[in-house]
């Protein structure tokens, strides 16, 4: 997967997360987490866009580390939302699986980048 394809996948993930969580019922905890997950899911994509134009390999690795942190935060938010939601369990589960796949891709990318430096 090249950088543009990965960026597009992250954009799709961000849109999917936002569409899903905005459709969830109103509940105090879910409403609080909606704002959190919107920020963290968009941060994944925006930080990856910065990583693509990193000034050095060290900067690239650092920015990918931020992407991983934001993906983990997104995943944790989705897992909590799934516990409180009475609908969309299947959709939230698919999003959690996608976040796992993206995390694996970025971990591997960091390992490769470190090995090549």
Cα(58)–Cα(92) distance, rounded to whole angstroms?
34
The token pair that represents 91 in the structure block: 């959709």
Please answer whether residues 75 and 99 qualify as being in contact, where contact means their C-beta atoms are separated by less than 8 angstroms.
yes
Sign of CA dihedral 4, 64, 47, 89: positive
Task: Sketch the domain layout of the chain as residue ranges.
Answer: 3-115
pLDDT tens for the chain, residues 1 to 117: 899 999 999 999 999 999 999 999 888 999 999 999 999 999 999 999 999 999 999 999 999 999 999 999 999 999 999 998 876 688 899 999 999 999 999 999 999 999 987
CATH code for residues 3-115: 1.20.1440.60
User: CA 114: distance to chain centroid?
Assistant: 22
pTM of the entire structure?
0.93
* Count of beta carbons in the 10 Å neighbourhood of residue 44: 26
């Amino acid at each position: 997967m090249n950088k543009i394809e990965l960026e597009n996948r992250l954009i799709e993930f961000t849109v999917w997360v936002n569409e899903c969580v905005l459709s969830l019922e109103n509940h105090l905890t879910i409403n609080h987490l909606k704002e959190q997950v919107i920020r963290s899911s968009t941060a994944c994509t925006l930080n990856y866009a910065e990583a693509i134009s990193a000034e050095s390999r060290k900067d690239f690795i650092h920015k990918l580390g931020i992407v991983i942190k934001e993906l983990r935060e997104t995943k944790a938010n989705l897992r909590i939302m799934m516990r409180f939601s009475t609908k969309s369990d299947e959709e939230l589960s698919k999003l959690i699986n996608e976040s796992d796949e993206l995390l694996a891709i970025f971990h591997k990318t960091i390992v490769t980048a470190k090995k090549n430096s």
